[in-house]
Each structure stands twice: as structure tokens, then as C-alpha cells.
């Protein structure tokens, strides 16, 4: 008996709800589009908003105008979508990076051959020799940046020099190493 009473109440409210839908749907879609920049998504958000309103129609106690309520509900749903989309994008990007790392590791040979180890050792020796030819401050900046993974501000604090000096020294180091090592790679 109670469920049939509920259905009858919904049937009586249907014309009023349809009127709300027809009156505000297009304008709310335009409003939602301003947030999400996709027509289909804007329509989906507005439809979901109307669906939620319909599902709670009996319990709603709207203290402001219906128009203001609908616009606020659509705005909140758009902002929730944007927030969720950013979370999905961030975690999706991190997941993609992890996957790429695993693929790279799978494609690498398990252990270098003796010839590859010898070649790598020779290259490391040549690179180290070239780094030692740099002026002392250039060497320090290069080693802290490339081997210790320090940022320019961290290097600046550690060496007691300005960030601009760090940038200049790093540029000089890279240019000199390029000039020294590039002919060997040809």
C-alpha cells in the first residue's frame, strides 16, 4: 500500500518536474559546458543532476529559488567531475610511468656481456677524465647536479654561491664536456 502511494505521489509531481526540466535543461547544459568544455559531458552532468533531484524530490526542502538550487547543484557536480578527472589523470600518468619503467627493464639484457662491461668501463674512464679537466668550481657544480641529483638552489646553498653562478658553471661544464666527448662518439 505504501509503495503504491509513493508511486501515485510521483505521478502527481511528474508534470511539475517535466516543467522544470524543459525550462532549465538547455541553460544548465550551457552553464555546465563552461566548466567542462565538452557538450556530451555537460549534458550528462545536467541529466545526472535532474535524476538526483527526481530521486529525492519528496525529501527536498529548497530554501532558495529552484533555479538557484539547480544551478548550484550543476556547478557542484561539474566541480566534482573536474576534481575526479584530475585525480584520474594524475594517477593514470603515474601508472603509465611505472608501466614504461617495467617495460624498459624487461627489454634490458639481464647482465651486460664482458665486451659491454669493458666498453662501459672505458666510457666511464674517458668521461671521468674529461670531468677532471674542468675548473674546480665547474667540477663541483657538475658532480653535485649530475651525480648527487641536487637542484640548483641546493647546490647554491652547499657551495655558497648564487643560483646564477650555478647555472653559468653548469652551462660551461656541459659545453666543455660536449666539446671534449662528442668527437669520441663519432
Instruction: Examine the domain organization and report whether 87 and 160 are in the same domain.
Output: no
Instruction: Examine the domain organization and report whether 50 and 130 are in the same domain.
Output: no
- Return the pLDDT at 18: 85
Instruction: Examine the domain organization and report whether 63 and 95 are in the same domain.
Output: yes
pLDDT tens figures, 118-128? 877 888 888 88
Instruction: Examine the domain organization and report whether 90 and 136 are in the same domain.
Output: no
Entry pTM: 0.45
- Return the pLDDT at 60: 64
Pick from 102, 128, 158: which residue ends a domain? 102
- Rounded-to-integer distance, Cα 160 and Cα 156, Å: 6
pLDDT tens figures, 129-166? 888 999 999 999 999 998 889 999 999 999 999 999 99
| Structural domain range at position 144 | 116-185
Instruction: Examine the domain organization and report whether 97 and 11 are in the same domain.
Output: yes
Amino acid at each position: 500500500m505504501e509503495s503504491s502511494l509513493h508511486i501515485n505521489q510521483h505521478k502527481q509531481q511528474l508534470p511539475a518536474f517535466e516543467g522544470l526540466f524543459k525550462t532549465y535543461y538547455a541553460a544548465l547544459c550551457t552553464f555546465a559546458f563552461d566548466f567542462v568544455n565538452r557538450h556530451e559531458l555537460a549534458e550528462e552532468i545536467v541529466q545526472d543532476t535532474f535524476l538526483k533531484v527526481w530521486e529525492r524530490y519528496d525529501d527536498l526542502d529548497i530554501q532558495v529559488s529552484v533555479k538557484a538550487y539547480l544551478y548550484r547543484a550543476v556547478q557542484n557536480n561539474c566541480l566534482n567531475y573536474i576534481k575526479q578527472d584530475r585525480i584520474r589523470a594524475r594517477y593514470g600518468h603515474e601508472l603509465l610511468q611505472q608501466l614504461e619503467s617495467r617495460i624498459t627493464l624487461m627489454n634490458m639484457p639481464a647482465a651486460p656481456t664482458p665486451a659491454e662491461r669493458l666498453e662501459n668501463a672505458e666510457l666511464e674512464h674517458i668521461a671521468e677524465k674529461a670531468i677532471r679537466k674542468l675548473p674546480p668550481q665547474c667540477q663541483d657544480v657538475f658532480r653535485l647536479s649530475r651525480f648527487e641529483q641536487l637542484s640548483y638552489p641546493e647546490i647554491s646553498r652547499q657551495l655558497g654561491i648564487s643560483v646564477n653562478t650555478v647555472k653559468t658553471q653548469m652551462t660551461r661544464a656541459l659545453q666543455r664536456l660536449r666539446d671534449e666527448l662528442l668527437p669520441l662518439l663519432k
